[in-house]
Amino acid sequence: MKTLLESMAHGAVRCMYCDDSRGTDIDHFQPLAMAPLRVFVWDNHLLACSFCNSNAKRDEFPVDPEGACLLVDPTTDDPADHLFLMLRSGEYGYHTAKGEHTIRVFGLNRPDLVMGRKDAFFLACSALRDWHRLRQEGDPEADRVAQALRDSPFVDVVHSITRLAPGLAATVVGERTIPAVGQWRSVYGG
């Protein structure tokens, strides 16, 4: 099971919650203490780093009064429906109660992740401009830069850049990165 989860994990086998550290543990999304029979449900098994699994989430599984899960489920939910990333501060904000609980339970705004995302933002903007220039020059190395960007930790930063609303993009990434963002969207989607 672990080998299969590793093959599905992003980039260099990153944790499916923080996307920063290596996924080392199998986390039961709904804790077995709460639902023992879910040990037989494939979708209840996710690859997590030991910090997210053992220090952050542990056995937390908040539910609403009707019993519906109040955590963003990576196997079914689009995190963008519940969470938004403030690229310059590196912090997550939320649209919904599910987003709010997810930030708290997984510690998504813990200092090491916030610092990593801030650095990843500036590196991603630089790499996007580099990719754009290489592509314009017809240099095949452009594809290698794109692959490295898509496989990089904190790929949520890259997704957030390429999904910025047109009216906001220039303010956040700066005018000189806008042409690269536009071309990335046309090649790889937002």
By C-alpha distance, which of 162, 156, 39 is closest to 106? Answer: 156
Q: Is 46 in the site for Zn ion (CB under 5 A)?
A: no
Q: Least distance (Å) from Zn ion to the CB of residue 86? A: 20
User: How would you classify the pairing of strands 83-86 and 25-28?
Assistant: unpaired
Segment interacting with Zn ion, rule: CB under 5 A, options 50-58, 85-93, 116-124, 134-142: 50-58
From 49-57, 129-137, 148-156, 176-184, span contacting Zn ion (CB under 5 A): 49-57
Task: State yes or no: residue 52 binds Zn ion (CB under 5 A).
Answer: yes
Segment contacting Zn ion by CB under 5 A, of 51-59, 73-81, 154-162, 177-185 = 51-59
Q: Closest distance between Zn ion and the C-beta of residue 48, in Å?
A: 5
**Cβ-based neighbours of 115, under 8 Å, separated by 6 or more:** 90
DSSP per-residue letters across 111-133: HHHHHHHHHHHHHHHHHHHHHHH
* CB-nearer residue toward Zn ion: 27 or 164: 27
Identify which range of 7-15, 33-41, 62-70, 114-122 contacts Zn ion by CB under 5 A: 7-15
Return the number of the residue (49 or 105) whose C-beta is nearest Zn ion: 49
Q: Does 49 bind Zn ion (CB under 5 A)?
A: yes
Beta-carbon contacts of 187 under 8 Å, excluding residues fewer than 6 positions away, are 146
Q: Kindly state whether residue 103 participates in binding Zn ion, applying the rule CB under 5 A.
A: no
Cα–Cα distance measured from residue 178 to residue 56, given in angstroms and rounded to the nearest whole number: 36
x-or-dash string of contact with Zn ion, 15-44, rule CB under 5 A: x-xx--------------------------
Distance CA(167)–CA(52), nearest Å, equals 35
- Residue 110 per-residue DSSP state: -
Nearer to Zn ion, 2 or 144 (CB): 2
147-150 long-range Cβ contacts below 8 angstroms, 24+ apart: 149/124, 150/11, 150/188
Residues that bind Zn ion (CB under 5 A): 15, 17-18, 49, 52
